[in-house]
Homo-oligomer: A and B are copies of this chain.
Amino acid sequence: MSDEPSTRDRLVQAATRLFRQRGYDGTGLTEILTEAGVPKGSLYHHFPDGKADLACAAADWTASEIIRVIDDSFRAAPDWRHGVTTFCYKMAKLFDILNSADACPIFGLLFEGPDHDRFRAQAEQSFDRIIAAAARYGQALGMPADTALDAAETFIIGFQGSWTLARTRRKSDVLRGLPARLYGPSS
């Protein structure tokens, strides 16, 4: 019943927020430490490899958050399109809350940084977790396994592109319009 998040969690969440806003290289350790209210020693205790470790933890945490939204969107969905639509609306709302300026939670977080291949591998794993989660709902809604995987990939690809365009325009409409783009005008 702790009301305070642990030091580790505060670090991960502060890092997530800041990486999303300014990117990996754009965010200083001091900034993260200040935001989390944690001294440097603690960081290197919980994350021996420092910034890189922290970034991977942040990516992992974000992927789980996204999957949580997927779950919330698809659990009660009568069909695939409804699930996608709910997800897009939820994310559009999040986009508006985030001041319409941040990078897409997972997608923007990775790639940069010195340890290129480690980050790439982490991103690949995060992507696959998310796609697999969506594909599971596709199957549950009656699709064959490979069709579901394909539909989930298309969905996530479209979402990623839409978020980027939404960001340049600072308008969340693009996200809400994704289902119509992918599946035609709503009947």
Size class of the A contact interface (CB-based, 8 Å): 35 or more
Tell me if A160 and B165 are in contact (CB < 8 A).
Answer: yes
| Given A25-B26, A101-B116, A111-B23, residue A124 in contact with residue B169 (CB < 8 A) | yes
Taking a contact as CB atoms under 8 Å apart, the answer to whether B157 and A161 are in contact is yes
Main secondary structure of the interface of A (DSSP, over half): helix
Point out the residues of chain B lying under 8 angstroms from A158, CB to CB.
157-158, 161
Chain A, residues 54-82, CB within 8 Å of chain B (1/0): the string is: 00000000000000000000000000000
Q: A23-B25, A25-B25, A26-B114 are in contact. List 8 more A-B contacts (CB 8 A).
A: A24-B26, A25-B112, A107-B164, A120-B168, A156-B161, A157-B158, A157-B161, A157-B165
Query: Which residues of chain B are within 8 angstroms of A161 by Cβ–Cβ distance?
Result: 156-162, 164
Closest CB in chain B relative to A166 CB, distance in Å: 10
* Interface positions of A (Cβ within 8 A of B): 22-26, 101, 103, 107-108, 110-114, 116, 120, 123-124, 127, 150, 153-154, 156-162, 164-165, 167-170, 174, 178, 181
Q: A159-B161, A160-B165 are in contact. Are A101 and B113 (CB under 8 A)?
A: no
Q: Are B168 and A160 within 8 A (Cβ)?
A: no
CB contacts (< 8 Å) of A124 on chain B: these are 168-169
Expressed in whole angstroms, the Cα–Cα distance for A164 and B111 within the complex equals 10
When C-beta atoms are compared, the residue in chain B nearest to A123 turns out to be B168
Are B112 and A22 interface neighbours, CB within 8 A?
A: yes
Listed A/B pairs (27) with beta-carbon separation below 8 Å: A22-B112, A23-B24, A24-B25, A24-B26, A26-B113, A101-B120, A103-B111, A107-B164, A110-B168, A120-B168, A120-B170, A124-B168, A124-B169, A127-B165, A153-B165, A154-B181, A156-B161, A157-B161, A157-B162, A157-B164, A157-B165, A157-B178, A157-B181, A158-B158, A158-B161, A159-B161, A160-B161
